[in-house]
Amino acid sequence: MTTPNAVTFRLPRSRRSVPRARALLHAVLGDWGAGQEVLENAELVLSELVTNALRVPVPSGRQVGVRIARDAGEGLLRLEVSDAGGGTPEVREPGADETCGRGLLLVAALAHRWGYEERAAGIGKTVFAELKAPDIVAGPAVREVAAVLVRAGQQVRVRGGWWTVRGVRSEQYASGGPAAVLTLDDGTALRVHAAEPLSVRAGERSG
């Protein structure tokens, strides 16, 4: 079931993945109501974690995993970056004439807590950083219901986003099976099997 309190995506092993990760983070934190200071610090931390993951030697074809999660009750934002490589992330104290090696030093300075864990499934590790985000807002509860039980005013997770349902009606497929037709807030009609499970939540569309 999709939850609005965590977003997960995978990135190719390319330098372009760093700005892409920042852009995705910016979009997510915008939806979550994070303030400018939290946004700027989170962008710096995520950039360093993704950059480090891209530098780790890994088996061919492996990607970088990113997870952005919030805990509004604790006022925390958690950033996780996973790679399939070995090694242990360690904070270095580079000399004045060194131009790199300060990434984790920056992460340690900005994060409330950081560390790493072995991946529960597969090879490699997950490096995480938690940032204090007192202004982050809680997401509405999400549950799964059969399409026929969706009601006007609820949101449904379809087409890669959350859409407010403006109306629901029942129909029959030409084959005779039951269908639910949901009218979304952009005016389109979504026809699905009446028993198909859909993720729903209360509230207005957030994107």
Q: What is the CATH number of the domain that holds 164?
A: 2.30.30.30
User: First CA to last CA across the chain, in angstroms?
Assistant: 18
**What's the whole-model pTM score?**
0.64
pLDDT value, residue 80: 96
pLDDT value, residue 96: 53
pLDDT value, residue 91: 74
pLDDT value, residue 88: 80
Helix (H, G, I), strand (E, B) or coil at 32: helix
Using 70 as the pLDDT threshold, list the residues of the chain that sit under it.
1-4, 92-102, 121, 140, 203-207
Report how many domains make up the chain: 2
pLDDT value, residue 100: 54
Within 13 Å, how many C-alpha atoms sit on residue 154's CB side?
20
Q: Tell me, yes or no, whether 161 and 127 share the same domain.
A: no
Q: Tell me, yes or no, whether 147 and 124 share the same domain.
A: no
pLDDT value, residue 203: 61
pLDDT value, residue 99: 47
Q: Tell me, yes or no, whether 79 and 161 share the same domain.
A: no
